[in-house]
């Protein structure tokens, strides 16, 4: 029996040491020598998605450019909003960074369910924009619609069905904004993922779909769907999307690219921010990062903090106008 007692005592002692370990602080002591610990970059979206791929590839260069390993992780739930909420537990200058974008800061606070959003854009400091991805609108190839003029003509006597990923996603809002400016009617059909939305247009279930370029690439190459327009100021012309006229050519302004901001917790010192920013800007220049970007059909971005703030404000306005 004595043995039992001593074992219990032992385990209690063990527990207490572990307890002590559990409540470790993560704030840094000196900013000059930042970082002194490994940095974690949280991607709040799906594994295997564009942001995740970029995050993991970029993390490889962490040791080289920041002097500490960078760990890429994912924390899912509520389209990224759970991770962004949990991130608020971090203090300024913490070793955790997170991705976020217009979905979390412009859309989520302005649509249904906003009551559950406990964070605002001001809770974070933007470090840099990892990439910009231009959305593309595609049509069932049978319709033979390849630009906005043809879309307008078609829309006169048709109510257009547009497949999008999620009814309150970026794609849904730019679709609504575009059709409003063109003055034609649309029905948004929400699918559970961009691939399924594209599949719907491939099957002829809907007439149009909105997605990233890389997502539509396969079906466009196969000639099942045709690109109608890209949501940008400048024309896109690569081996898949040949001379696709942008919405900008038609004087349309209510559009935005998909972005992926790297964010730190509010209050993080400017020196730390610029240290991370410079490191990441350099990472983006690496050959295999460039290769990945072209594979994913996304563009590197040199946006400043002001550009990022403007983007959030711009998208917020579009969301409010089209809700």
Partner 1 sequence: MDLFMQGSSLLFNVPNFLYMNLGLFLGVIFGAIPGLTVILCIVLFLPFTYTLGAVESFMFLLGIYCAGSYGGSISAILIKTPGTPHAAATMLDGYPLTQKGQSMKALKMALNASTFGGIFSAVVLLFFAPQVAKFAQMMGTPEYFLVCAFGLTIIAGVSGNNLIKGIIAGAFGLFISTIGIDAMSGGTRFIFNNINLYSGIALVISLIGLFALSEVLAKSEKDVVDTTVNKEALNKQNCKFTKEEKKSVRRPMIVSAIIGVIIGIIPGTGASMASFFSYDRARAMSKHPEEFGKGSLEGISACETANNAVTGATLIPLLTMGIPGDGSVAIMLGALMINGLTPGPNLFSEHGPIMYAIMIGLIFVNLFMYLQGKVLTRWFAKVISVPVGLLTPIIVMFCFAGAFSVNSSLFDIKITLVFAVIAYIMSKFGFSTIPVLLGLVLGTLTEENFRRSLVLSDGKWDIFVSSPICIVFLFLITITLILIIRSQIKTNIIKGTK
Partner 2 sequence: MKKFLDSVDLLIDNTGTKLERHNMNVPINIVGAILFIIIAIVGLSLVPSQIKLNTSSAITARTFPLLMLRIVLIFSVVLLLKDIIAIIRKKDIEMKEINLLVEIRALIILAMLILFLVLLHFSSFIASSIVFGILMLFYFRSRKLSSYIIICSSAIIIGFLFQYVLKVRLP
Residues that bind partner 2 (CB under 8 A): 1-5, 7-8, 11, 14-15, 18-19, 21-23, 73, 112
22 contacts partner 1 (rule: CB under 8 A): no
Closest to partner 2 by CB, 2 or 285: 2
Produce one character per residue of 120-150: b if its CB has 16 or more CB atoms within 10 Å, e if not: ebebbbbbbbbbbbbbbbbbbbebebbbbee
Instruction: Report the C-alpha gap between 231 and 190 in whole angstroms.
Output: 19
The option from partner 1, partner 2, none interacting with 221 (CB < 5 to 8 A, set by class) reads partner 1
Two structure tokens written together for 267: 């209050």
Contact residue for partner 1 among 112, 149, 307, 321 (CB under 8 A): 112
141 contacts partner 1 (rule: CB under 8 A): no
79 contacts partner 1 (rule: CB under 8 A): yes
DSSP 77-135: SGGGHHHHHHGGGSPTT-SEEEEE-HIIIIIGGGSTTGGG----GGGEEEEEEEEEE-E
31 contacts partner 1 (rule: CB under 8 A): no
The option from partner 2, partner 1, none interacting with 2 (CB < 5 to 8 A, set by class) reads partner 2
DSSP 192-214: SSHHHHHHHHHHTSSSEEEEEHH
Instruction: Report the C-alpha gap between 307 and 124 in whole angstroms.
Output: 15
212 contacts partner 1 (rule: CB under 8 A): no
Tokens 């970082």 belong to residue: 35
Closest to partner 1 by CB, 77 or 267: 77
Q: CB under 8 Å to 294, separation ≥6 — which residues?
A: none
- The count of chain residues that interact with partner 1, using the rule CB under 8 A, is 57
Contact residue for partner 1 among 11, 36, 187, 237 (CB under 8 A): 187
Residue ranges in contact with partner 1 by CB under 8 A: 46-49, 52-53, 56-57, 72, 74-79, 81-82, 85-86, 111-113, 115-118, 159, 161, 166-168, 187, 189-193, 195-196, 198-200, 202-203, 205-206, 214-215, 217-219, 221-222, 224, 292, 295-296
């Amino acid at each position: 029996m004595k043995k039992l007692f001593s074992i219990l005592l032992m385990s209690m002692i063990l527990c207490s040491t572990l307890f002590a370990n559990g409540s470790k602080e993560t704030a840094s002591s000196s900013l000059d020598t930042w970082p002194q610990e490994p940095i974690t970059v949280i991607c709040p979206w799906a594994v295997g998605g564009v942001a995740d791929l970029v995050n993991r590839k970029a993390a490889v260069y962490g040791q080289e450019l920041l002097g500490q390993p960078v760990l890429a992780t994912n924390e899912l739930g509520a389209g990224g909003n759970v991770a962004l909420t949990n991130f608020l537990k971090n203090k300024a200058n913490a070793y955790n960074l997170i991705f976020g974008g217009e979905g979390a800061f412009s859309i989520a606070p302005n649509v249904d369910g906003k009551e559950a959003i406990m964070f605002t854009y001001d809770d974070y400091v933007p470090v840099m924009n990892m990439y910009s991805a231009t959305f593309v609108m595609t049509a069932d190839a049978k319709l033979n619609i390849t630009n906005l003029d043809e879309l307008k003509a078609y829309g006169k006597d048709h109510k257009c069905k547009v497949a999008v990923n999620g009814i309150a996603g970026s794609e849904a809002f730019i679709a609504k904004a575009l059709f409003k400016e063109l003055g034609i009617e649309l029905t948004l059909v929400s699918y559970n993922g961009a691939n399924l939305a594209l599949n719907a247009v491939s099957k002829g279930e809907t007439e149009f779909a909105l997605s990233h370029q890389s997502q539509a690439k396969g079906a466009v190459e196969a000639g099942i769907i045709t690109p109608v327009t890209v949501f940008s100021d400048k024309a896109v012309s690569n081996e898949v999307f040949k001379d696709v006229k942008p919405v900008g050519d038609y004087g349309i302004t209510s559009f935005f690219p998909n972005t992926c901001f790297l964010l730190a917790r509010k209050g993080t010192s400017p020196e730390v921010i610029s240290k991370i920013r410079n490191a990441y800007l350099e990472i983006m220049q690496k050959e295999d990062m460039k290769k990945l970007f072209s594979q994913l059909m996304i563009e590197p971005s040199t946006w400043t903090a002001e550009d990022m703030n403007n983007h959030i404000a711009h998208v917020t306005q579009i969301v409010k106008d089209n809700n």
